[in-house]
Amino acid sequence: MDYTNLGRSGLSVSRLCLGTMNFGPLTPPADSHEIMDHAHALGINFFDTANRYGGRQSPPGQVAKTDEAHVGWTEEIIGAWFASGGGRRERTVLATKLFGAMGDWPNDGKLSALSIRRACDASLRRLRTDYIDLYQMHHVDRDTPWDEIWQAMEVLVTQGKILYVGSSNFAAWHIAQANDTAAARGFLGLVSEQSIYNLLTRWIELELLPAATEYGVGVIPWSPLAGGLLGGVLRTEREGRRRAAGRAREAVERNREQIESYEACCDELGEEPAAVALAWLLHQDGVTAPIVGPRTLAQLDDAQRALTLALDEDVLKRLDAIFPGFKPAPEHYAW
């Protein structure tokens, strides 16, 4: 396993991050524990979750397998795994998130000082730990001033409840605003940003990636396979193993020509499409660790190939031709 620092921090994390959104609704607790143990065996030390994971709405469009599904369930599954001992907590860089409402009462969500305090304490209880390595804002809160947010985060750091702060789904100017405010307070500020980033979705190359690089913020791509579109969806369809339906079907048809070219390129390389998509992300400047969200042990094993798959300049140019990206702004659209 390869490791790198998370942004400008001294925290060492694996180049693949284990995403846990499937734990509970799609992957039963026992299987989830087995996946986490296997991740450690592979050297993956970076695990990502969120306080909202585990409910019927996570992931969107999926139906929970049992009546136990509820927001917070995924953190509880991880907490039970930590509680089983064996150095599991000590060997894990634990990242979780807050923002989404955990109930119907005022202040049950977003980023007021009160919400931050309550959300952190609740996550610590579910996770059965006394600290969170990386506490991430799942979305920007336009109604709460940054001084209030940072004051609350500073208290959590002083109390030893969190070590680092990250963001998710921020715009470039949010990162600039957040970190400039933090710097004025003498606080470290954001060290990471989770953004959607894959061969099909490359908007962050315009401004987010340059801003993250400038501010020393490590980028953690989510949806690296574009919801399965880059995971060999047409091959699976031809082999009769699975056929996309609903919105997934619409996405396949909307991008069919590009996906066909991509899968042909992967076939010529003799590599699985999912491995190529992950390897491409690992070749991008500023990317710390793509989030892989396996439902099974086999899917986790398959992701490891990306770490040793070197894509030469010709292959990278071919992928750019299939999925055109962006130059940094303003050069992309101005002289």
**DSSP annotation of 327:** P
pLDDT band at 236 (very low <50, low <70, confident <90, very high): confident
Q: Tens of pLDDT along 2-31?
A: 999 999 999 999 999 999 999 999 999 999
Report the pLDDT value the prediction gives residue 61, as an integer from 0 to 100.
Answer: 39
Report the pLDDT value the prediction gives residue 58, as an integer from 0 to 100.
Answer: 44
Question: Which candidate, 307, 249, 264, places its Cα nearest to that of 283?
Answer: 307
Residue 113 maps to a domain:
yes
Residue 83 maps to a domain:
yes
Query: What is the pLDDT of the chain when averaged over all its residues?
Result: 93
Instruction: Say how far apart CA 272 and CA 267 lie, in whole Å.
Output: 8
Residue 212 maps to a domain:
yes
Q: Is the separation of the CB atoms in 242 and 272 below 8 Å?
A: no
Q: Is the separation of the CB atoms in 73 and 53 below 8 Å?
A: yes
* Residue 229: both structure tokens together: 């579109």
Helices 246-254 & 256-269 angle (0-180, nearest 10): 80
- Domain with residue 92: its CATH number is 3.20.20.100
Q: Tens of pLDDT along 115-125?
A: 999 999 999 99
Residue 316 maps to a domain:
no
Question: Which candidate, 6, 7, 5, 16, places its Cα nearest to that of 304?
Answer: 16
DSSP string, 254-277: HTHHHHHHHHHHHHHHT--HHHHH
- Total structural domains in the chain? 1
Q: Tens of pLDDT along 185-205?
A: 999 999 999 999 999 999 999
CB proximity list for 193: less than 8 A, separation 6 or greater: 166, 167, 168, 170, 175, 208, 212, 217, 218, 219, 220
Report the pLDDT value the prediction gives residue 56, as an integer from 0 to 100.
Answer: 62
Instruction: Say how far apart CA 261 and CA 322 lie, in whole Å.
Output: 7
Instruction: Say how far apart CA 120 and CA 156 lie, in whole Å.
Output: 8
Q: Which member of 3, 53, 131, 333 is catalytic?
A: 53
Report the pLDDT value the prediction gives residue 244, as an integer from 0 to 100.
Answer: 66
Domain of residue 52: give its range: 3-229+286-311
Mean pLDDT over 218-228 rounds to 96
Residue 281 maps to a domain:
no
* Residue 15: both structure tokens together: 């180049």
Q: Is the separation of the CB atoms in 292 and 19 below 8 Å?
A: yes
* Residue 40: both structure tokens together: 């450690």
Beta strand 3-5 with 162-168 is unpaired
Q: Tens of pLDDT along 260-292?
A: 999 999 999 999 999 999 999 999 999 999 999
Mean pLDDT over 146-163 rounds to 98
Q: Is the separation of the CB atoms in 48 and 320 below 8 Å?
A: no
- Burial of residue 254 (CB within 10 Å: 0-12, 13-18, 19+) is exposed
Which helix (H) or strand (E) covers residue 303, if one does? Answer: helix 297-303
Higher pLDDT, 108 or 97: 97
Residue 235 maps to a domain:
no
Residue 65 has pLDDT above 50, yes or no: no
Residue 221 has pLDDT above 80, yes or no: yes
- Cβ count within 10 A of residue 239: 9
Instruction: Say how far apart CA 332 and CA 192 lie, in whole Å.
Output: 25
**Single-letter amino acid, residue 70:** H
Residue 162 maps to a domain:
yes
CA 103, 55, 59, 172 torsion-angle sign: positive
Residue 64 has pLDDT above 60, yes or no: no
Residue 111 maps to a domain:
yes
pLDDT band at 240 (very low <50, low <70, confident <90, very high): low
53 catalytic residue (yes or no): yes
Report the pLDDT value the prediction gives residue 251, as an integer from 0 to 100.
Answer: 85
Q: Is the separation of the CB atoms in 72 and 51 below 8 Å?
A: yes
